[in-house]
Structure 1
Amino acid sequence: MLLIGILLALTATKAEPVAIQTQLPGAVSSLEVRGVWFGGGLRVTWDAPPGDPPDDYRVLWRKGPGQRTNEMQAFPRDTGITLRNLEEGQWEVRVRARRFDGGGTPKGGPWSEWTTAPVAAAPTLLQWIGGFTALAMVVLATIGLILRRRASAERGAS
């Protein structure tokens, strides 16, 4: 009987929903955008906002004002991302940190300012082969010069 009374008391209690306040993350800082050495992309880095770490970051990029904006998620421990397969030209990038509220809805901090950087054309396979061929020719010429000097020094010593 006591057990039934406890069960009735427990089931009769209504739990009121509790609102969880999500504090917005601060702004990212030190946003840096630069072209990658192999062309066709941008390396984007930033410093995390102060305080508790964000749940993720959002990165936006576009070819210029009024152009289509692309968006990507970067994870909380990543304070950098490489954007690939971009056309040659000037690109703009901006970043913001986000936290999720109790219901899983993202709440974003302030966006960084748009930062512009040039993207060089990615080299073609023929350009890569040409670069390696030129390097191989320099190495072979240097080896040939060293061998000729060594042979000449040996003839002079005998």
Structure 2
Amino acid sequence: MDESVCPGCATRLPFSHVLYEGYFNTTPECWSLFTEVQGRQYGNVLLGRHTHQSTIDAYAAQHAGADHPDKSVAIHLLGLYLVIEQEADPLEVAPVQQRMASARANWPELIRPEDQGGLTIFNVAMADDGDHINTVHSWSREVWGMWAEHHQTIAELL
């Protein structure tokens, strides 16, 4: 069986004929898994309330590189910073990200860490509803930790 290996997170998935035309450093198969997780979160108010924002931000930060713009990487790392370091309510993060995205013209160049960790969207997809929230939180903390050399830069964006 042919498989694809995601350049962002190294997840191996069976090859499919799904198309992907975005700028994340991903494969169509990994992106498809991400959208399946998003659908699951949209369909469950509890999961969505506690995990939706961190899922988006962790996925984006873990899939930096290639054509993924610095602005996007910084905005999503800012989301992780707000939830993890500042203990912000996840529902308050997107409005802050939107304001920052509109207010700044120049964004720092953030070099993608070589180590992309062990947890990925695959782990989130495989977690049952009882483990979903904890898996997303563990994954997002791991992704945030991988970007440690840029933590100060991200904090200074505010």
The reply to whether TM is greater than 0.5 is no
More helix by percentage: 2
- Max radius of gyration: which structure? 1
Give the structure-2-normalised TM-score: 0.20
